[in-house]
Amino acid sequence: LFDFKIILGKNGVPVAENFRLEQSTIADTIQAGQVRVRTLYLSVDPYMRCRMNEDTGSDYLLPWQLSEVADGGGIGVVEESKHDNLAKGDFVTSFNWPWQTVAILDGSLLQKLVPQLVNGRLSYFLGAAGITGLTALLGIKEKGHMAVGANQTMVVSGAAGACGSLAGQIGRLEGCSRVVGIAGTDEKCSILVQEMGFDAAINYKKGDVAEQLRELCPGGVDVYFDNVGGDISDTVISQMNQNSHIILCGQISQYNKDVPYPPPLPPDIEKIQKERNITRERFLVLNYIDKQEASILQLCQWIQEGKLKVR
């Protein structure tokens, strides 16, 4: 059994020395209600940077403890079961899966997976058909205020990431007439346009982003799916239309800094936001548990139909 252990402070970039890999043993027998699982997939996500602080900055995320095993979204296969609803060979998932090759877990905290829903690609349950896909879909539905035929333009930052690449595609499926992505390499931009169906993509490391946005979004920006915050977001917000909407998904450019979430906007950008009545509210996917099941089935349907491309 191998497990991961971690620590870091509020300011700073994670490095290998923050992690420790240990070899240890687990109990030979399991108790009633427990299952022994073998880990197949782990999800490594931006929010985990916040868990490397003593205070995560949010009440729904607990900090990782020094010299304790890290955890997050995971998928495994049941090797032995003493839980009534789980049998050997079942595929299961949890949002608090320990970073261990093998683990003994409480079966009641696990969700059983149906591989056929994602054409057998189990890892999708941590991505496009998991929390990542839910974040994109529910963020757009709850905070995007899109309408078919309204001729809306959507911009996505961090567009080639797990969430951003889905958000752009879902924006199109939900009625946006133009979708523009912002990413960090020419290759990513090419994938967004040629594979993911974005109308255009901007490499923010090349040229003037503001100028390219004006060119690619001549009617301004109606919806902004914000994954990054910082300078990029300031540039997009300055080109947003009256009564437009920011879907505040993440602020990854700020995660290595000691700032509140969501970080305050610079005064000149905040002025634009207020004058143009641009909504910018944080949203939490966990607040929409009642819509989770139907949303997952919608995501799976789009994947099966080839309407949602996943890398």
pLDDT in tens, 138-185: 999 999 998 888 899 999 999 999 999 999 999 999 999 999 999 999
**Tokens 């947003």 identify what position?**
240
18 three-state secondary structure: helix
**Region 2-113: CATH code:** 3.90.180.10
pLDDT in tens, 24-48: 999 999 999 999 999 999 999 887 8
247 three-state secondary structure: strand
The partner residues of 153 in beta bridges, in order of sequence, read: 178
Question: Given 3.90.1150.10, 3.40.50.720, 1.10.3720.10, 2.60.40.10, which CATH number is that of 132-305?
Answer: 3.40.50.720
Residue 47 DSSP code: G
Distance CA 46, CA 253 (A): 10
Distance CA 12, CA 25 (A): 33
pTM across the whole model: 0.84
Dig out the tokens for 309 from the structure.
Answer: 């491309």
Task: Output 245-248 pairs: Cβ under 8 A, ≥24 positions apart.
Answer: 245/143, 245/144, 245/145, 245/278, 245/279, 246/143, 246/278, 246/279, 246/280, 247/139, 247/140, 247/143, 247/144, 247/167, 247/223, 247/283, 248/143, 248/280, 248/281, 248/282, 248/283
pLDDT tens digit at each of 311 positions of the chain: 555 555 555 667 888 888 889 999 999 999 999 999 999 999 998 878 878 877 766 777 788 888 889 999 999 999 999 999 999 999 999 999 999 999 999 999 999 999 999 999 999 999 999 989 999 999 999 999 988 888 999 999 999 999 999 999 999 999 999 999 999 999 999 999 999 999 999 999 998 999 999 999 999 999 999 988 889 999 999 999 999 999 987 766 555 555 556 778 999 999 999 999 999 987 777 788 889 899 999 999 999 999 999 98
Dig out the tokens for 9 from the structure.
Answer: 């402070």
Yes or no: say if 263 and 251 are a contact pair by the CB < 8 Å rule: yes
Domain boundaries, the chain: 2-113, 132-305
Distance CA 285, CA 139 (A): 8
